[in-house]
Chains A and B, each alone.
Chain A
Amino acid sequence: MYGNDFPGEDPPGGLLGEVEAAEAALRAAAERGRGAIEPSEDLAAYFAEVVAADQKIEPRDWMPEAYRRTLIRQIAQHAHSEIIGMQPEGNWISRAPSLKRKAILLAKVQDEAGHGLYLYAAAETLGVSRDELVDLLLSGRQKYSSIFNYPTLSWADVGAIGWLVDGAAIVNQVPLCRCSYGPYARAMIRVCKEESFHQRQGYEILHTLAHGTPAQKAMAQESVDRWWYPSLAMFGPPDGDSTHSAQSMAWKIKRFSNDELRQRFVDMCVGQAEVLGLRIPDPELRWNEERQAYDFTQPDYDELMRVIKGNGPCNRQRMEHRRRAHSEGAWVREAAAAYAAKRAEKEKVAA
């Protein structure tokens, strides 16, 4: 631990407060019990009632097949994103500018691995195996977040990823803490608390750079310029083009539309950018008194579609790295399994 990173008090009204409220709601829902609702012959009606009552669906409950498939897809792609997301930041571990920054970055990348594992475990409660999901990723049949296909070109990018990318992730994930599927909601509560550390450390990096030398400030600004629109694109296509949204909202998997979350993120960032002393690269950004929100330029959705389809700046590099780690690690996994089998055999003989 470093002198300035002992956990302090959290300001009220922040995202962490919302996570804690979601956690309290989860406990309250569990204590309320299912009361009047009892599983009956009509499983679909029972499922609908549980969802309507803001209670959680648990792994052994009946659920519509499409609900199960949607959750598997969403949770798995979320898990893949955490794992692939280790690469852009991992790129700067050996080049971090101080030992303190390096230790923080290591802890952060370790957290990402942990988030991937929590999420794979949540997906597995739906009846798929992690091996199957990893195969789906490696064979390109499942995606990961578009944002990790952008390169990290300077140290400031580590700060911009923390502030903007992790910030966008939290805005997206905080409502998922109230998602109708219990294991996913619980995983998101865990993830959000840690993600909040990531966002703040990123913000601190940018703040330090923006108040450093002119060269450092320019580096911070250049980085924000590059990451702003890809971060806005993380919320997905505009509501009109979002294929899964309506059903996901009816099932209370999603709570807010892509555009609502994007707006919330922009409104949050404006004040934070002012404190940083950095400029958001959008000439159209201005307060709209009528809407009580900021007007802003939409990200380039054609670019988003190109990146999602595999043609972003780093798609090939990211997948190749992940495939190589998997195939070159095969002999290590085999050795561990062989050793475990040998030990189990010995114990059986001894018993």
Chain B
Amino acid sequence: MSQQHTPLWEVFVRARRGLAHTHVGSLHAPDAELALRNARDLYTRRQEGVSIWVVPASAITASSPDEKDSFFDPAADKVYRHPTFYEVPEGVAHL
């Protein structure tokens, strides 16, 4: 019954100046312009934001939960990446 497929868009809204864009949801629209207008009506009816990004869902590549271990592991065994790894001698200020 559906005549054609309107692609899926992911919507990101920045709530205020200085904050990052946050993913708020998705919607269908034939093109970017309509996606933007629909996102304005759908996700910012109550002063939720000052800036909107729309991205075709097909343009997003996601990591897979299955490769979680191998993919994110290096962070855990390189503790020296965290400032708390380093000992600060007593009496040193502003460090």
Contact = CB atoms under 8 A, between A and B. Distances in A.
Given A139-B1, A326-B1, A337 B30 contact: yes
B4 A333 contact: yes
Contacts of A60: 62, 64-65
A67 interface: no
Nearest to B3: A330
B25 A118 contact: yes
Interface residues of A, number: 31
B65 A337 contact: no
B65 A39 contact: yes
B55 interface: no
Contact of A39 (B26, B27, B28, B66): B66
Contacts of A334: 3-4
Interface string A333-347: 110110110011000
Q: Interface on chain A toward B: helix, strand, loop, or mixed SS? A: helix
A134 interface: yes
A160 B69 CA distance: 54
A117 interface: yes
Interface stretch (A11-19, A88-96, A124-132, A273-281): A124-132
Nearest to A131: B2
Interface in A160-178: none
B8 interface: yes
A79 interface: no
12 contacts: A60-B62, A110-B41, A110-B45, A114-B41, A124-B8, A134-B1, A187-B25, A333-B30, A337-B3, A337-B30, A339-B30, A340-B30
